[in-house]
Structure 1
């Protein structure tokens, strides 16, 4: 669940896309380096970012 403070910070779409892209790139880097443990953690972080910040994020109408 996203707090109200986080929701305010992530209102601009570029911030949500940037953090998701960063986590995805981190996951790809770890998979490429065959660091399975960190790759799974980074993949989970990327999936969470996608789910919370891209898929189900609701923009405020007044923003």
Structure 2
């Protein structure tokens, strides 16, 4: 995938952790309710989010504190 996943909204680490945590919690909810398809789908979303937003995230260059002034 050749996409730019950086966005100024996701620059704070806590937002990226919350996003991945939400997907993981949703997956756990679906699995405990016996919904294997939705549990697998949301687990894949959490795994991709962890890889993309926690391991390989590069902060955006937008915003007043990122300009170098």
Report the TM-score range of the alignment, normalised by the length of the smaller protein: 0.7 to 0.9
Give how far 1:2 is off: 3.1
- 4+ residue runs over 4 A deviation: none
State the TM-score, normalizing by the size of structure 2.
0.76
Alignment length, in residue pairs? Answer: 61
- Structure-2 residue corresponding to 1:2: 4
Q: Which has a greater percent of helix?
A: 1
State the TM-score, normalizing by the size of structure 1.
0.82
Gaps in structure 2 of 5+ consecutive residues? none
